[in-house]
Amino acid sequence: MRIGIMAGAASIEALVEQARRVEAAGLDNLWLANIFGVDAVSALMLMGYETRHIGLGTAVTPTYPRHPTALAQQALTTAAATNNRLSLGIGLSHKVVIENMLGFSYERPAAHMREYLSVLVPLLQGESVTFKGEHYNVNGVQFRVPGAERVPVIVAALGPLMLKLAGELADGTITWMVGLRTMEKHIVARIRGAAQRSGRPEPTIVGSFPIVLTNKPDEAREAIGKSLAMYGTLPSYRAMLDREGVDGPADIAIAGDENALRGEIKRLEDIGVTDFNANIMPVEEGAFDRTLEFLASLKG
């Protein structure tokens, strides 16, 4: 199983330095969120330009604000600048952002995603795209970016329809706020089934979890619960927590000593998670450094 971390820093310079550090630690991937801070694809270009081999991924770039042709061109450019180490993670975001804040209709989000992938994926494979749909109409668009190869697409898929789409049309999924039982019985089972029925390769399954190495796990989970409380109120994440049968984000966090963390990560690997994305929670002094060191030891 590949192991990476969710990057995060206060400046572009700090993100680049973090990328160098994580690569030097021997981890496989760096993931970067695209919310209301830096543009993730652009920042990963800079982070990738200053590193040599670590994988880079968006976790995730929302689809609605960016036309698929625009995102494809940006992703291909970033891939070319980083020796084709980019995985493009995309997602619907949430109704409160897309409809309430940005003014787009959030009606029939799965239909939107199907059309989006129908345009985006072939463009990222270097193909010419002609597509006529309800949301997008594209006629003969093709990008030729020197040095760019095929860019994998992973979809933030949680519901049954989205998992089916990700299995049929994309390279995999990336999750957040999903517990272990839900990961195995719902996420892994559904996306693998959809990929198999479509004759596609085994999907990439990126499991993102809050994690911290600590000898005070109960206190750490309490702090994590407070820090991530908002995620427990968003409908798509709330549905996953309810499916798991837990109260909130603290209950799916991985917190404890080396043996506890090693055991949880191994369980995820055993159920079919291909990539572990560690969102290291700095709930104590030194927590980030020692958790990163532990994760690096798993690759030793």
Give percent of the chain with pLDDT exceeding 70: 100
Residue 284 has pLDDT above 80, yes or no: yes
The burial of 285, by beta-carbon neighbours within 10 Å (0-12 exposed, 13-18 middle, 19 or more buried), is given as: exposed
Closest by Cα among 48, 170, 73, 180 to 113? 170
Q: How far is CA 279 from CA 74, 78, 115, 181, 212, in A?
A: 26, 24, 31, 19, 8
**148: pLDDT confidence band, cut at 50, 70 and 90?**
very high
Distance (Å, rounded) from C-alpha 96 to C-alpha 115? 22
Cis peptide bond prior to 212, omega within 30° of 0: no
Question: Could you tell me where the DSSP H helices lie in 148-281?
Answer: 160-169, 180-182, 189-197, 217-227, 235-244, 258-271
Task: Identify the pLDDT of residue 9.
Answer: 85
Task: Identify the pLDDT of residue 256.
Answer: 98
Q: What is the mean pLDDT of the chain?
A: 97
Q: Which residues pair with 277 in a beta bridge?
A: 4, 208
Q: Are 290 and 246 in contact (CB under 8 A)?
A: no
Mean pLDDT to the nearest integer, 115-126: 98
Closest by Cα among 2, 5, 31 to 282? 5
Q: Which domains does the chain have, with CATH numbers?
A: 1-156 (3.20.20.30), 167-300 (3.20.20.30)
Task: Identify the pLDDT of residue 18.
Answer: 97
Residue 164 has pLDDT above 90, yes or no: yes
Cis peptide bond prior to 60, omega within 30° of 0: yes
Task: Identify the pLDDT of residue 154.
Answer: 98
The two counts, helices (H) then strands (E), for the chain are: 12, 12
56: left (phi over 0), alpha (psi -120 to 50) or beta: beta
Q: Are 142 and 69 in contact (CB under 8 A)?
A: no
Residue 300 has pLDDT above 90, yes or no: no
Residue 10 has pLDDT above 90, yes or no: no
Mean pLDDT to the nearest integer, 178-203: 98
Give the number of C-alpha atoms closer than 13 A to the C-alpha of residue 51, restricted to the C-beta side: 29
Per residue in 61-98, pLDDT tens? 999 999 999 999 999 999 999 999 999 999 999 999 99
Give the pair of three-digit tokens for residue 150: 């095929």
Mean pLDDT to the nearest integer, 226-249: 98
Q: Are 277 and 207 in contact (CB under 8 A)?
A: yes
Name the one residue in this structure whose structure tokens are 């290291």. Answer: 280
Distance (Å, rounded) from C-alpha 69 to C-alpha 50? 27
Distance (Å, rounded) from C-alpha 288 to C-alpha 16? 17
Task: Identify the pLDDT of residue 20.
Answer: 98
Span between the terminal Cα atoms of the chain, in Å:
13
Mean pLDDT to the nearest integer, 149-167: 98
At position 52, the amino acid (one-letter code) is R
Give residue 223's Cα distance to chain centre.
23
